[in-house]
Structure 1
């Protein structure tokens, strides 16, 4: 069976179909029944409507017209009646309603946002199109439903009071009276909304907030400007009250009051947490940028301006991820599309290094952390340089030990050659043979000089200054570099050095000074055009010795001359230099009271000028005079594992009238000393078994009356300086290769002290 309401609706549809030509009259007739009607053509476009339709749906009044698509009327309807949380789904609601309009035949009931209930029927017309009929069924809602609604409203945790369009009190719930106990005499009486607000202001609101509530009460028409946002007021007993107002379509006003203490406290905690978060974001030592999924800038801290002010200003103007990407692409090694990638480091125009770390949050926001790591990079570079320097020092130390060992092995045969050559020169009367022996001796002495220079660089004894002939030092350094300079096709010219060019200096430091200067010139000339040339000139004037080392290479640019003597500053390629050579030169010259400077050499190239104080002595001590100075008497014990050395020493001492006993190591020497005392011990240091240092330690244990003086004859001065024993009187030290005359003179002095 068909329900009465449905029968009535079907009857109206049949009536509309029968009176289609006079539909306007029918629509007017339905207005008298309070029924809204809207007729649509087969394309779902509006054909006609009545005034009741506009009463039910006032949002359509200024927009509806014949031919308006049904979907457009739905958009206006949902724009007014959808909950705020559903506004982003408006089109989905429109699409679903259109489908219902085309297919649904059974009437259904729905509620407007104003609270009114409407029942609607949607039925097809016989000739095509559809008709929709609405009628107000609010009064037809079951009484039990209204009672349930009243009970639900009364149980709400908010207090509400209802006032009619004239502002007169209508009703209130229990919670309203609990919030404001003193308002009971206004409930049920002929009171106004303004009376209620005045009572609440007097009894419940803290004095500091009363003026705010008084301004709300003073509105001439509260319904024209309702309090839609919560008005927070402090309660006289502590805590907070919140007031909101809602106005119905008939002018009814609902005042909604609630205890907002928890909300305010929660908001305060949230505000405090936000402040802590802001403080934390500002305190981190990085610039922070946060972008949402659409690339909009959400958050940044002040640190960004310290990283790069240009980027900070750019993001002020255009706060987007694309603007950051354009800034990053400005460094030239990436495009804007590829500017957001993994962790990287970029160098800014002011040479600062910035590390960039991209991160993504769980919610999909994009984070960028920018850090100025210039100091860290400099520290890393400095650490790398220190490691390289330590490595170089280790190599130099190893080289020094190697040089000492090589020097010892070379010095023994060189000592034999030099000594034998000198003895032969004294014995040979033939001038031609004597000249040949002299050439042999000079070659051996040249080799010995080179070995001594190596040892001067490598020795590790306490530094002692003594007068040094500059010509001898320069010649020795040139001998060391001769092969390398020749291999690079570089000619070295050392002008005659005045005999007065004597400097009181540390011998090894002076060798290192000129070795570094000449090596520096050699490196500069390697890529220069031929002929390649280094010139060294020495002049003495005004108590100073001036040494000029010049080359015809590319020279030193004026822009870097102020830094050329800084530690680690170098213009050489990676791996070709450490940048410490010239700084060491500067330190040596300064330590000796001199100065060093660089400028352009005449004709091109670099010119280094060194000025050092002249020694008080006019010249270095000369070599001992050869030849006999009277016969000596005594017994000498010679200790050396090299038979050639002991043979030549024995021959030299025998010519001086001395008795010589030979021992091959320290233990054999001690046995000889036990068998017969001696007047002097000449010992080598490096020997198998007991070495020279061990022998000296055993001799030092003897009483002074039977303790013979000692001469240490060694080609390994480095080991002697490290292992020198406590011996009184201190032994004389003669380096191999030795001059026979110098050895004889040392023996004479030692025996003289012994006899004294």
Structure 2
């Protein structure tokens, strides 16, 4: 070998040593007899217990025995490494690496490869950190899976290409089923296309509204949020799907409640105005109505009677409007009692069909048997049904479309309500005004044909009873209107019919005192009562009334409430102190029932009262109520 060859061999040897030392794993070369030929510093560093034995010529079996003896490897690791050496000696070209546990929990991966000279090369690397990271990653994955399995959100991981589902949480399975392809839960293909179009540029989508399909095939409104990530070398989509059905239902319920509150606020604000107007109209209307009715009984001339009839009808109509104003604006609670709605509905239908000359519609009632009772004011509820029937009939007559009204009444056990649907086949309500139909004073009828308070009154009454009234779409062609009333069921049925004593007869001559600061009203009430053969005195002040009560006993005392000087309440308190026996013979005729103090006083004293305008029949009923109270008081004293 010449000098150049020796130099080249020397350079190659130096390069080989440099490469071996640069390796990040331990390396040792053994000859065919198992003696150590070469090794690098990492091999020594990885085997500190036997570092003093690692030198050229050291035998493999000795190193292995000493490593076990000095606690560097276990007996199991020694046996596995001996097995590797025997496989090499048997002529195997490669062997599977084995993991060897070292001291202090370290872990090594050992591999052996045969050499061309019959020996073998041993490589050794510390995999403790790699194994720790792998275990940590495995624990994280297990924890994430436990979290996702317990998470109430519907979470899915799908491949971007092809849409195959890789993972879905139990909530996603419950909501969307076990479809293998993610696109199948999109109810609208175009929405999935929009979803991918929004996702791809930025890799994210937040709260996109879509229509999804449940596992049972039904559709529901949903929100989908997604992120595009890389998982094990491929693009995947992680997404969550939220069912919005409950949210939208709650929003609708809140919107309905806001609308009810809005309507109530409008009615409340209007109530003060209506109360003032109605109060000022009550006294003159009482005079007009009362005198018109008396004239009708006194005149025989047909022509004059016809005129009086027109005056009387117009005055009574004004009276009904005023009372409707007050009923709509009044804030006091209704007089609630367990009621069978079938009776209230039948009463309203009978009143319209048999009592209203201008009512022409055919009314059909379908009332479910064993209808549960509701807690309501039956008179107010009957007025609601009358208003709805009258509105439907008038709409059909004015348009020339339709002639039938149907009332369906049934119970909804799940909601604990009674449902009343009032449907007609008339012209229906135009969409542009449906949002205003419950507004006070809003009407589409011609002047003189509507007040705009019927539906507002119905809305107010139903809301006061804890129920709802709304307009439904009752047909596909837009014809007809359908109002649905929902009222809560009364939990306790009445055990039996209440026994009511008949009102006492008024055939006897009564002595009555009338007190009202308006002379015309006082004279009217006096004249109306005198027509029933009673002896009536009328005065215009509480002070004068006290003077007369000191000299005369009256069977009935009718007093206005709001008067200058000694008003009705003051008179009542004086009677309680000075003439306690007269209190049971007292009643009130007032047009000031809107004031809270008035309502509180009437509730506290418990005396009968009549709201102006005064109508003869109502006045007679008031007198009979006073007599009935005296009768009950006498019976109670007899029992005592």
TM-score, normalised with respect to structure 2: 0.63
Is 1:421 paired with 2:280?
no
Aligned to 1:353: 221
Correspondence 1:216 to 2:84: yes
Which residue number in structure 1 is paired with residue 361 of structure 2?
492
* Residue 533 (1) aligns with residue 410 (2): no
User: Deviation per CA, 1:348-384, whole angstroms, max 9, x where unpaired?
Assistant: 2412222112346799976433223333233323333
Tell me the alpha carbon deviations over residues 695-750 of structure 1, each in whole angstroms, 9 at most, x when there is no partner: 46754763444865532113465658972427897422123333447647856986
Q: Kindly tell me: are residues 274 and 416 of structure 1, through their superposed partners in 2, closer, same or farther at Cα, counting changes over 3 Å?
A: same
Asked whether 1:684 is paired with 2:560, we answer: yes
Q: Distance in 2 between matches of 1:237 and 1:282?
A: 37
- Paired residues for 1:416-455 under 5 Å: 416-428=287-299, 430=301, 433-434=304-305, 436-438=307-309, 440-445=311-316, 447-449=318-320, 452=323
TM superposition shift of 1:621: 7.9
Question: 1:164, 1:170 within 8 Å by CA — same for their partners in 2?
Answer: yes
Please provide the CA RMSD for this pair. Answer: 6.0
Q: Aligned residue for 1:581?
A: 484
Counterpart of 1:702 (choices 560, 564, 577) is 577
Q: State whether structure 2 residue 339 is matched by structure 1 residue 462.
A: no
- Shift in CA distance, 422/469, structure 1 to aligned 2, threshold 3 Å: farther
Residues of 1 paired with 2:279 and 2:391: CA distance? 26
CA distance in 2, matches of 1:413, 1:475: 32
- 1:257 is matched with 124
Partner of 1:170 in structure 2?
37
| 2:249 partner SS | helix
For 1:228 and 1:466, the matched residues in 2 are separated by 89
Q: Please tell me whether the aligned partners of residues 517 and 582 of structure 1 are also in contact (alpha carbons under 8 angstroms).
A: no
CA offset digits 1:98-138 (Å, max 9, x no partner): xxxxxxxxxxxxxxxxxxxxxxxxxxxxxxxxxxxxx9975
Structure-2 separation of matches of 1:748 and 1:326: 73
Q: 2:208 aligns with which of 344, 348, 361?
A: 344
Aligned positions of 1:145-184 closer than 5 A:
152=21, 159-164=26-31, 167-173=34-40, 176=43, 179=47, 181=49
Query: Which secondary structure state, in structure 2, belongs to the residue aligned with residue 422 of structure 1?
Result: helix
Aligned to 1:714: 590
- Distance change >3 Å, CA 409–CA 258, structure 1 → 2: same
- Check the 8 A contact 1:411/1:715 in 2, yes or no: yes
Structure-2 change in CA distance of 1:494 and 1:264 (3 Å): closer
For residue 638 of structure 2, what is the aligned residue in structure 1? none
Aligned partner of 2:147 in structure 1 is 280
The equivalent residue for 1:376 is 247
Question: What is the distance in 1 between the residues matched to 2:510 and 2:285?
Answer: 27
Q: Pick closer, same or farther for the CA change 1:621–1:306 going to 2, 3 Å.
A: same
Bigger mean CA deviation after superposition, 745-754 or 266-275: 745-754
**Residue 646 of structure 1 corresponds to which residue in structure 2?**
522
User: 1:305 and 2:198 equivalent?
Assistant: no
Q: Is the 8 A contact 1:326 1:336 kept in 2?
A: no
| Residue correspondence of structure 1 range 197-276 to structure 2 within 5 A | 197=64, 200=67, 204-207=72-75, 209=77, 212-221=80-89, 224-226=92-94, 231-235=98-102, 238-245=105-112, 253-276=120-143
Which whole-Å deviations, capped at 9, do the CAs of 1:272-307 have from their partners, x for residues lacking one? 223223333444443445679989989643354344
Deviations 1:474-500 (A, max 9, x none): 576689999xxx9xxx943689xxxxx
Distance 1:307 1:201, change over 3 A: farther
The Cα of 1:581 is off from its aligned counterpart by 2.8
Superimposed CA distance per residue, residues 291-340 of structure 1 (whole angstroms, 9 cap, x where no aligned partner): 79989989643354344336x4025xxxxxxxx59968625685686364
8 Å contact kept, 1:505–1:592: no
What secondary structure, in the 3-state scheme, does the structure 1 residue paired with 2:361 have? strand
Q: Does 1:738 align with 2:640?
A: no
Distance of 1:381 and 1:578 partners within structure 2: 22
Q: CA deviation at 1:403?
A: 6.2
Q: Look up the match of 2:382.
A: 510
3-state SS of paired residue (2:246)? helix
Q: How far apart are residue 195 of structure 1 and its match? A: 6.2
Find out whether 1:662 has 2:540 as its counterpart. yes
5+ residue gaps, structure 1: 1-31, 36-134, 316-323, 496-503, 538-546, 556-564, 594-612, 664-668
1:420 shift after superposition: 0.8
Whether the 8 Å CA contact 1:418–1:738 is kept in 2: the answer is yes
Q: For the Cα contact (< 8 Å) 2:44–2:51, is it kept in 1?
A: yes
Aligned position for 1:725: 601
Quote the Cα distance in structure 1 between the aligned partners of 2:492 and 2:18: 105
Task: Classify the secondary structure of the residue corresponding to 1:388.
Answer: helix
TM-score (norm 1): 0.55
Give the structure 2 partner of residue 71 of structure 1. Answer: none
SS at match of 2:540: strand
Q: Shift in Å at residue 243 of structure 1?
A: 1.6
Residue 415 of structure 1 and its aligned partner are, at CA, apart by 1.7
CA 464–572 in structure 1, closer or farther in 2 if over 3 Å, else same: same
Residue 662 of structure 1, CA deviation: 0.5
**C-alpha contact 2:286 2:613 (8 A) present in aligned 1:** yes
SS in 2 for 1:343: strand
Label 1:587 to 1:284 Cα distance change in 2 as closer, same or farther (>3 A): closer
**Quick one: structure 1 residues 753 and 336, their matched pair in 2 at CA, closer, same or farther if it must change by over 3 Å?**
closer
Counterpart CA distance in 1 for 2:113 and 2:89 is 13
Higher relative contact order (CA 8 A, sep 6+): 2
SS at match of 2:181: helix
Go from structure 1 to structure 2 and tell me whether the alpha carbon gap of 1:325 and 1:685 turns closer, same or farther (over 3 Å shift).
same
